[in-house]
Amino acid sequence: MAKLSEYSAKRRFEATPEPAPAEPTHAGGPLLFVVQQHAATRLHYDFRIECDGVLFSWAVPKGPSPDPADKRMAVFVENHPYDYASFEGVIPPKQYGAGEVIVWDCGVYSPDEGGTCFHDRAEAQRRVREGLAAGKLSLQLRGEKLKGSYALVRTREAKSWLLIKHKDRFVSHDAITAQDRSVLSGLRVRELKFVAPPPRVPASRLVPAGEPSALPVKLAPMLTESTDAAFTREGWCWEPKLDGYRVLACIDGERVQLKSRRGLELATTFPRLAAELREQAGGGTMLLDGEIVAFDADGRPSFNALQNRFQLKSAVDIAAADRSVPTLFFAFDLLHFAGIDLRARPYRERRRYLAQCLLPSQQVQLVHVAADGEAMFAAALASGFEGVVGKRADSRYEAGKRSKAWLKVKPTQSAEFVIGGYTRGKGSRGALGAVLVGYWDGGVLRFVSGVGSGFDARTLDALLQRLQPLQRAKNPFSEKPDLPRPITWVEPQVVAEVEFHEWTDDAHLRAPVFLRLRDDIDARTVQRPHPRLHANTDTAGNTERGTGADTQRNDDIDAVLQQLDTPRKQFDLAIGAHRIHLSNLDRVYWPADAAIEQPALSKRDLLRYLAQVSPLMLPHLADRPLTMIRMPDGIRGQRFFQKHWEQARPGFVEAVTVFSGSKDEQHEYLLCNNLPTLLWLAQSGTLEFHVWHSRAQVGADCVSQSTDYASSLEALEASVLNYPDYVVFDIDPYIYSGKEAKGAEPELNTVAFEKGKEIAFALRELLLGMGLEPIVKTSGKTGLHVFVPIMRTIDFDAARHVSELVSRHLLRQRPKDITMEWSIPKRSGKIFMDHNMNVRGKTLNVAYSPRGEPAAPVSMPLTWDELASAHPLDFRMPGVIKRLSRTGDRWSDALARKQDLAKALQR
């Protein structure tokens, strides 16, 4: 690449972690800019803009300034590769540019003289080339720190330029360089001397990029589930729950639409707000999810003020209200920008794009986000908001769905209900005593409560005005409410928000209080709200049963651990009504390892580990035929690979009979569906637990509802056991340490694992491009297992075919790194991708399973962020328990999010 020849000549890529020259891999979208803070001989800032596949670069000694009076020197330097945009790390001593580098800011940019063109990549690059050739380039920056119009002006010396801020609303006299943290890792540049370099984010993920697509014609907002308490957990973000109208703001050139949850067009109701939003897209497209909020005289959010504002119809009244009761649009998600659909991107990326692309104004603001859920909840209530919303950082935007990836927390429960009638009041209450409310259930309106508190005189008058014209003769509810006072029935068209303590056993509301009318919600869409998730419930909503396993209560686990504390080497372990005879508890299963300072681990230690990990491990074992690897004398003794169990077994151990096509006979497989079974297997010397990719449980996600696995091969192939829950990608490094015995498999080594990680991230990038979200776990040895959870609509043959197609596509992209050869000598030095793991009856070690290897490693589920800095020996039995509250819930939830593979392949 001639444009990068100077860059290459100055660097030795075997010695520096900087990226080597390469063609950009992204397909399109707005142009990228990045500012990197670089602690070289002198601290300076590198200002870079994308054009024609490279980054044109200037060294700015004092950094950019938002003050037009500061004309900052900018020295033109060599072009850098596009991938350099996300580089953060330490350039080693004696290498060119030695020192620490962080991404101080990044975002999208466009030439802006004569208007911006974020949506037209070719036009933007043409104008950049012309501006640079002429020695003057005006551009609009949309970063997290730098926003607004700037100019690059060449001086008399060819490589000397000036970076100058133009006068606009983003002018500031503050020293913006005091904001000294990376927008990617959050690190300060000086901190890189003391910590490991942060995981590299692909440069193509820094800003919206991809194939252009049209704005969606119809779209419903993603909705939240309720939970009872905010929490602080890695991978979750929190924002205040705004007390306003939920709105999707669709901007297409000069046209602005503000669509409410019920599909009402609000742009004419809030014309000033629509006018400010029109400026956001720069003539292109933009789709924002947010909330319209009004404030009272004390500056606190007021839903009542917003409703009064909503009722205005005349232009004169609306203009007057804009002056006296201003409304703001708080944006909290970006779904589409400059022709790029972002709904499939994880929330953490959409949030970064929103912070970059939004241009805050008097009426358009970015909602605040924090990681500390408890502190955010307290601050939100103190500021007059009604609670908080937590969002999982890796969640996609599920339009129109109520998702456990978004959780709302309010000090009391509230929900929307349809008004179907009202009773007469007593005394001063006059014509209205209580409203009768319910929800739609399969076409009928279910009555849930009469609501007689929460009204004042003004509210009562307003309610009567709304309800009296809707009177009808017939009861709209499916049953007649048993109430002592006369009832007036009304057409079920009005929605009320009601606060209540809890649901009663007969599905009514306890202590209901009227809060307000909800004109922004279509009465036809009101269904029974889901019960609150509890803070100790996993994000998939699993409590007692989860995905089929009888997850034990904490008191059962505590009882097991107390019994294991006895010094006796054998005794009968009590688990509820069940008993397991334990023996040889001090037998060493994993010898001590001095190199990592790990003591010997015994059968007792294995039982302790499995008891503690059982709430997270059992859901992954449940209803799946089990293959055991037994090592009753420890990892240095004999190993038994056991598929079938023909001996006697306790009554609490479940099993399933499966037809064997190869032998034309039936075999019994164990199912590990409860804690007693898990511990019984450990007592029997089972160190590794391997499971099928399908499960013997019918469900709405499966095209087959047959549980006949045993009568014939045809019956087995028609049963649910022939439909996997996921497509598997088995990443198996055949990169040797050099210490292996002749003919042995590669041993655990860092070089192999790092190369496996590189391939896993490349695979993830490919799958995300198909609209599929993969999840990952370590194998417990050197490999990685990547899963794509799917609806059970394809059989194993189809899953194997998909895995092979994707793997071969990745092989064509990286032929030097990947192999699919069956010949072991031909695999040497490469990553073997085994699509044949997608076969009925094939097994992989289950999540959290120990491995019969030195150091007692565990097959550990990880987030992709965690994988970036992971090493297999980070996840060993003694230390895994400490990680469970942070990691397990997220992975179980991810596995439960089934994806429609057929639709993804059509895309």
Tokens of 536: 């100790």
715 and 770 in a single domain? The answer is yes
Question: In the chain, what percentage of residues exceed pLDDT 90?
Answer: 58
Instruction: Note whether residue 535 is domain-resident.
Output: no
Q: What is the pLDDT of residues 112-158, one digit of tens each?
A: 998 999 999 999 999 999 999 999 999 999 999 999 999 999 999 99
Is residue 421 within a helix (H) or strand (E), and if so which, with residue range?
strand 413-423
> Could you tell me how far CA 295 lies from the centroid of its own chain?
32
Q: Is the pLDDT of residue 426 over 70?
A: yes
Question: Contact, 260 vs 245, CB < 8 A?
Answer: yes
Q: Is the pLDDT of residue 538 over 50?
A: no
Parallel, antiparallel or unpaired: strands 364-366 and 327-337: parallel
Stretch 734-763: mean pLDDT, rounded?
84
737-745: long-range pairs with CB below 8 Å, 24+: none
241 and 311 in a single domain? The answer is yes
Residue closest to 407 by CA, chosen among 882, 886, 776, 893: 893
Instruction: Note whether residue 538 is domain-resident.
Output: no
Give the end of a domain, one of 361, 377, 409: 409
Q: How many domains does the chain have?
A: 4
Range scoring the smallest mean pLDDT among 13-17, 139-143, 378-382: 378-382
Tokens of 390: 């937590």
Q: How far apart are CA 765 and CA 769, in angstroms?
A: 6
Give the end of a domain, one of 345, 378, 409: 409
Residues in the chain: 907
405 and 417 in a single domain? The answer is no
Residue closest to 853 by CA, chosen among 731, 680, 690, 688: 688
pLDDT at 168: 95
Range scoring the smallest mean pLDDT among 35-39, 140-144, 407-411, 498-502: 498-502
716 and 863 in a single domain? The answer is yes
Instruction: Note whether residue 544 is domain-resident.
Output: no
DSSP class of 449: E
Whether 241 sits among the annotated catalytic residues: the reply is: yes
Q: How far apart are CA 847 and CA 779, in angstroms?
A: 9
401 and 419 in a single domain? The answer is no
Question: Contact, 617 vs 881, CB < 8 A?
Answer: no
Stretch 712-740: mean pLDDT, rounded?
90
Please spell the DSSP secondary structure of 747-782, one letter per residue.
Answer: PP-HHHHHHHHHHHHHHHHHHHHTT---EEEE-SSS
List the CATH number of the domain containing 674. Answer: 3.90.920.10
Instruction: Note whether residue 635 is domain-resident.
Output: yes
Tokens of 478: 């499916």
Residue closest to 149 by CA, chosen among 162, 161, 132, 163: 163
Instruction: Note whether residue 716 is domain-resident.
Output: yes
Instruction: Note whether residue 546 is domain-resident.
Output: no
- Going by pLDDT thresholds of 50, 70 and 90, the confidence category of residue 88 is very high
Is residue 559 within a helix (H) or strand (E), and if so which, with residue range?
helix 554-564
DSSP class of 227: B
Question: In the chain, what percentage of residues exceed pLDDT 70?
Answer: 94
In the chain the first and final C-alpha atoms are separated, in Å, by: 33
Q: How far apart are CA 18 and CA 38, in angstroms?
A: 13
In this structure, the dihedral spanned by the alpha carbons of residues 35, 36, 39 and 40, taken in order and rounded to 10 degrees, is: -90
Residue closest to 686 by CA, chosen among 697, 670, 664, 667: 670
Query: What are the backbone dihedrals phi and psi of residue 799, each rounded to the nearest 5 degrees, phi first?
Result: -60, -45
Q: What are the distances in angstroms from CA 242 to CA 6, 323, 468, 706?
A: 52, 21, 31, 47
pLDDT at 890: 59
Query: What are the backbone dihedrals phi and psi of residue 332, each rounded to the nearest 5 degrees, phi first?
Result: -130, 5
309 and 366 in a single domain? The answer is yes
Q: If phi over 0 gives left and psi between -120 and 50 gives alpha, with beta otherwise, what is residue 94?
A: left
8 and 146 in a single domain? The answer is yes
pLDDT at 906: 62
Specify the higher pLDDT residue, 740 or 852: 852
List the CATH number of the domain containing 506. Answer: 2.40.50.140
Q: List the catalytic residue out of 165, 241, 777, 898.
A: 241
Question: Contact, 843 vs 612, CB < 8 A?
Answer: no
495 and 569 in a single domain? The answer is no
Please spell the DSSP secondary structure of 634-689, one letter per residue.
Answer: -TTS--EEE----S---TT-EEEEEEETTTTEEEEEEE--BHHHHHHHHHTTEEEE
DSSP class of 742: T
Stretch 241-253: mean pLDDT, rounded?
92
782 and 892 in a single domain? The answer is yes
Identify which of 198-202, 414-418, 679-683 has the greatest average pLDDT: 679-683
pLDDT at 32: 97
Stretch 682-707: mean pLDDT, rounded?
90
pLDDT at 788: 94
Q: Is the pLDDT of residue 68 over 90?
A: yes
Instruction: Note whether residue 543 is domain-resident.
Output: no
Q: Is the pLDDT of residue 188 over 60?
A: yes
Query: What are the backbone dihedrals phi and psi of residue 28, each rounded to the nearest 5 degrees, phi first?
Result: 175, -170
Q: How far apart are CA 196 and CA 15, in angstroms?
A: 17
Tell me if residue 387 falls in helix, strand or coil.
Answer: coil
Q: What is the pLDDT of residues 446-455, one digit of tens each?
A: 999 999 888 8
Tell me if residue 303 falls in helix, strand or coil.
Answer: helix
Residue ranges making up the domain that contains 335:
223-409
Q: Is the pLDDT of residue 888 over 50?
A: no
Range scoring the smallest mean pLDDT among 439-443, 581-585, 869-873: 869-873
- Going by pLDDT thresholds of 50, 70 and 90, the confidence category of residue 660 is confident
Q: How far apart are CA 489 and CA 445, in angstroms?
A: 13
Q: How far apart are CA 589 and CA 483, in angstroms?
A: 69
Identify which of 196-205, 509-518, 752-761 has the greatest average pLDDT: 752-761
Q: Is the pLDDT of residue 722 over 70?
A: yes
403 and 438 in a single domain? The answer is no
Residues 6+ apart with CB under 8 A from 860: 777, 778, 780, 847, 848, 874, 875, 880, 883, 887
Q: If phi over 0 gives left and psi between -120 and 50 gives alpha, with beta otherwise, what is residue 52?
A: left
Tell me if residue 138 falls in helix, strand or coil.
Answer: strand
Give the end of a domain, one of 394, 409, 424: 409
Instruction: Note whether residue 511 is domain-resident.
Output: yes
pLDDT at 532: 58
Question: Contact, 108 vs 142, CB < 8 A?
Answer: yes
Q: How far apart are CA 623 and CA 695, in angstroms?
A: 5
495 and 562 in a single domain? The answer is no
Average pLDDT, whole number, for the chain?
88
Stretch 309-317: mean pLDDT, rounded?
84
Instruction: Report the DSSP beta bridge partners of residue 164.
Output: 71, 151
511 and 636 in a single domain? The answer is no
List the CATH number of the domain containing 247. Answer: 3.30.470.30
- Going by pLDDT thresholds of 50, 70 and 90, the confidence category of residue 549 is very low
pLDDT at 874: 84
